[in-house]
């Protein structure tokens, strides 16, 4: 997959089928949209994504000095890139969002970027699409220039589930309540945390529970602290696991949030490897124990409960 990141000046030679959006989470609604552009690969077009980096919501919060209250993301930049590539996207444009680009007039955005730079022959987006200065651009304007500029358009209506429109904000609500099964239904897959395995304090090994440790970036949306049953994806293989999200209050006092996973029936050195922890279901809240022995006893019970969960 070709990634064009942080560039205002670029030109794509091949005709493209372009999807426009934030794509936070790449949920069921996004997948419906992406299916339309991926289908155009059979007609010789390149499947291309046009998105902003940072997102408009993050940019304007930073501009207002609200850097401590940035919206959490379902997918980090690395997770999103890997997901797009796995889906078969050919070109990803992460267009810089700044004071200059925020003032591009909607028609200029269509002519200069979608038509000239993206070489779009087909453009798909949600029917609530907005773009350009103050978000004044809409699908009506996109359609009005289609014949002149030689592209076709497709507006995707919102999908509904649980009597609500599927959206990233809805999914974040479910994750904040540890409703991982409902989040998975909205996403079309289990919610996951991806990253490279970090060296921890290796305390788990001393009590018979060696774990792999991920330190997700601040912008990653995490469910409430606690223990989750999970699946661990490593280099095309999937393992069952038990994941603790939290600050390990029994053995640590630095308050750093980590994602630690015990992998069933697996004992390999994974340091430095990229893996994904898919959170299948919430088991219990994080607890502080009186000592390591009490922690160890609880983890043995959790381990057995996890085996029973996967057996079902």
Asked, as a colleague might, if the bond just before 54 is cis with ω within 30 of 0, I would say yes
Q: Cα 20 to chain center, whole Å?
A: 16
CA gap 87, 264 in Å, rounded: 29
The domains found in the chain, sorted by start residue, are 2-161 (3.40.50.620), 190-311 (2.40.30.30)
* Average pLDDT of the segment spanning 146-175: 96
Beta pairing class for 160-161 and 164-165: antiparallel
Average pLDDT over the chain, rounded to whole?
92
User: CB of 48 within 8 A of CB of 98?
Assistant: no
Sign of the CA dihedral 133, 139, 141, 143?
A: positive
Q: What is the pLDDT of residue 287?
A: 85
- Averaged over 72-100, what is the pLDDT? 96
Please write the tens of the pLDDT for every residue from 127-160.
999 999 999 999 999 999 999 999 999 999 999 9
Alpha-carbon distance values, 287 to 62, 205, 212, 247 (Å): 35, 19, 20, 10
| % pLDDT > 90, the chain | 78
**Helix 168-176 and helix 180-187: axis angle, to 10°?**
160
| Main-chain phi, psi angles of 294, to 5 degrees | -65, -40
Of the candidates 60, 210, 69, the residue with the CA atom closest to the CA atom of residue 133: 60
The pLDDT of residue 96 is above 50: yes
pLDDT for residue 250 is more than 50: no
Q: Which of 80-84, 124-128, 207-211, 269-273 has the lowest mean pLDDT?
A: 207-211
Please, is 229 exposed, middle or buried when counting C-beta atoms within 10 Å of its C-beta (0-12, 13-18, 19+)?
buried
Confidence of residue 207 (pLDDT cuts 50, 70, 90): low
Classify 94 as helix, strand or coil: strand
Write down the H helix ranges in the chain.
Answer: 28-39, 56-63, 77-87, 106-108, 139-144, 146-149, 168-176, 180-187, 203-206, 292-311
Residues with Cβ < 8 Å from 41, sequence gap 6 or more? 17, 47, 88, 90
In angstroms, the Cα distances linking 89 to 37, 110, 166, 216, 247 are 9, 21, 22, 25, 37
pLDDT of residue 60: 87
Six token digits for residue 244: 């603790």
Which pLDDT belongs to residue 229? 98
Instruction: Report d(CA 203, CA 172) in Å as an integer.
Output: 32
């Amino acid at each position: 997959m070709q990634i064009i990141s942080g560039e205002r000046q670029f030109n794509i030679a091949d005709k493209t089928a372009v999807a426009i959006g934030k794509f936070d989470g790449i949920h069921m609604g996004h997948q419906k949209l992406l299916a339309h552009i991926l289908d155009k690969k059979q007609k010789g077009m390149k499947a291309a994504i046009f998105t902003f980096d940072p997102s408009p919501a993050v940019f304007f919060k930073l501009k207002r000095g609200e850097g401590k209250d940035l919206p959490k993301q379902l997918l980090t930049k690395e997770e999103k890139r890997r997901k797009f590539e796995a889906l078969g996207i050919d070109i990803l444009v992460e267009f810089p969002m700044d004071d200059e680009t925020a003032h591009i007039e909607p028609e200029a955005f269509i002519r200069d970027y979608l038509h000239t730079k993206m070489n779009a022959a087909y453009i798909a987006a949600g029917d609530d699409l907005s773009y350009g200065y103050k978000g004044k651009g809409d699908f009506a304007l996109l359609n009005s220039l289609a014949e002149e500029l030689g592209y076709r358009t497709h507006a995707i209506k919102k999908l509904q589930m649980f009597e609500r429109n599927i959206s990233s904000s809805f999914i974040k609500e479910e994750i904040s309540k540890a409703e991982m099964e409902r989040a998975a239904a909205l996403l079309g897959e289990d919610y996951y945390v991806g990253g490279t395995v970090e060296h921890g304090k290796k305390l788990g090994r001393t009590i018979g529970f060696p774990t792999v440790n991920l330190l997700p970036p601040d912008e990653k949306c995490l469910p409430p602290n606690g223990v989750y049953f999970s699946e661990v994806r490593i280099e095309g293989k999937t393992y069952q696991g038990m994941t603790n999200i939290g600050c390990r209050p029994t053995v640590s006092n630095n308050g750093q949030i980590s994602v630690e996973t015990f992998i069933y029936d697996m004992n390999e050195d994974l340091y430095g490897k990229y893996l994904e922890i898919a959170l299948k279901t919430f088991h219990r809240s994080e607890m502080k124990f009186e000592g390591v022995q009490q922690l160890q006893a609880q983890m043995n019970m959790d381990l057995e409960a996890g085996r029973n969960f996967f057996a079902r």
